[in-house]
Amino acid sequence: MNKIYNPIKAEWKDVLKRPTQTLAAIEDTVNTIFSEVEQDGDTVISKYTKQFDGVHLDSFLVSESELLQAQALVSEELKQAIQLAKSNIEVFHKAQISEKVAVETTKGVTCWQEKRPIQKVGLYIPGGTAPLFSTILMLAVPATIAGCKEIVLCSPPNKEGKLHPAILYTASLCGVTKIIKAGGIQAIAGLTFGTETVPRVYKIFGPGNQYVTVAKQIATKHGVAIDMPAGPSELLVVADDTANAAFVASDLLSQAEHGIDSQVILVSTSKNMIAAVEKEVALQLEELPRKEIARQAIANSKLIYVEDDQTALDLINEYGPEHYIVCVANEDFYVDNIVNAGSVFIGNYTPESAGDYASGTNHTLPTNGYAKQYSGVNLDSFMKAITFQKINETGIKAIGKAIELMAEAEGLQAHKNAVTLRLNSLK
């Protein structure tokens, strides 16, 4: 890992740079595939599925028989673990249900807000080197609680043209209405435009590689909303001498094994902790089945020493980590003053893995610094807030004159007339 000691503020931008390509480097490829899918639908998805995933499919739609086969292939032990996680995620997301907000702003003027589900949502579930069935829980559970009518799942098939049994089992368990064997840019394009097999949706959710991230951003130019720009995984740990170096190293590696473009960072006010963590990372890395992936991600990662807590916090807020672990004596300072982070994990016994799977919080989070502008996925992500108002005779008399004056000042006479006619009718 790259060790950096007391970087000056002018260097922070370079020190904290993510190992990601720029949007411009990928955008041309995405636009080409989008254009082809819009024009020729399933034929193009089939072409790129063969090119990128190495398999030709006669049908992208997962059948009932495939779902039944998958259910038989998932062990009872794993099913119980998935059920536990699902239960905790349901508890946390049901707690986010909000009541109708109603207020009389002026006598006779009543305004209220109610939430309605987004009717059609698309869930992108990465496959590739790790079948992220846990992401289905994080997306389909709140979508179901919100009341979304169509929940369409896309995930890339393996070389045999199949999806991992745990993906199919979890999707079926969580209320997904249609499962599509397609991934990458072509899947996002299918959800954006609709094809013979892939339904067009109103909003697309889910993490993915840099190509999927850019594809989601391009989808917004075609009238489809997205949850956030969620790209390669990242983790920042702040730790001092009260932390357990082995625990910290395990957390760093847990994110490094996601992919070669993942990034992990340790920020510490202790040079001893940095040395201990570096040693532990090297030891634990050799025991991992995915050590070659983790090794390449570790090459993109940083061990940063700073002299005081305030500098550490300022640097962390500048980075805006997707996952943020706090293992320090001065815990409250780092927790109370963080403003840019996707999800926060506090204390030596709160691994990031808990949030990835079973604590109940959502693991679909903003990456690449977008924690400065975006929240992670939550129940409201699957809903829209609609405002309502009702004005009676007393109300229009109370605010009518103000509306007339403001409309006239803006030169919008028809706006003024809409009020004047009503006021004159009440004379």
323 as an active site residue: the answer is yes
CA dist., res. 128 & res. 288, Å (int): 18
As annotated, the binding site for substrate includes 233, 255, 258, 323, 356, 410, 415
Looking at residue 229, what is its pLDDT?
80
pLDDT in tens, 182-207: 999 999 999 999 999 999 999 999 98
DSSP three-state, residue 220:
helix
CA–CA gap between residue 312 and residue 289 (Å, rounded): 33
Read off the tokens for 293: 């992936």
Residue 23 clears pLDDT 80, i.e. is over it = no
Q: Provide the pLDDT for residue 20.
A: 67
The annotated binding site for Zn(2+) is made up of 255, 258, 356, 415
pTM, rounded to two decimals: 0.93
Binding site for NAD(+): which residues?
124, 186, 209
Q: How far apart are CA 155 and CA 162, in angstroms?
A: 10
**Mean per-residue pLDDT over the chain, rounded:** 96
Query: Has residue 129 got a pLDDT over 90?
Result: no
CATH number of 2-20+232-360: 3.40.50.1980
Query: Number of C-alpha atoms within 13 angstroms, CB side, residue 43?
Result: 5
Q: Could you tell me if 121 and 216 are in contact, meaning their C-beta atoms sit under 8 angstroms apart?
A: no
Are 127 and 176 in contact, with CB atoms under 8 Å apart? no
Q: Which pLDDT band holds residue 230 (cuts at 50, 70, 90)?
A: confident
pLDDT tens digits for range 43-71: 999 999 999 999 999 999 999 999 999 99
121 near 141, Cβ under 8 Å? Answer: no
Q: Give the separation between CA 65 and CA 227, rounded to whole angstroms.
A: 32
CATH number assigned to the domain covering 23-229: 3.40.50.1980
Q: Which of 234, 257, 280, 322 is catalytic?
A: 322
More confident residue, 209 or 113: 113
Those residues whose C-beta lies under 8 Å from the C-beta of residue 258, and which sit 6 or more positions away, are 130, 232, 233, 293, 297
Residue 25 pLDDT exceeds 80: no
Count of C-beta atoms within a 10 Å radius of residue 291: 16
In this prediction, residue 21 has a pLDDT band, given cuts at 50, 70 and 90, of low
Q: Which of 93, 164, 323, 363 is catalytic?
A: 323
> CATH 3.40.50.1980 occupies which residues in the chain?
2-20+232-360, 23-229
Known catalytic membership, residue 322: yes
pLDDT at 130 over 80: no
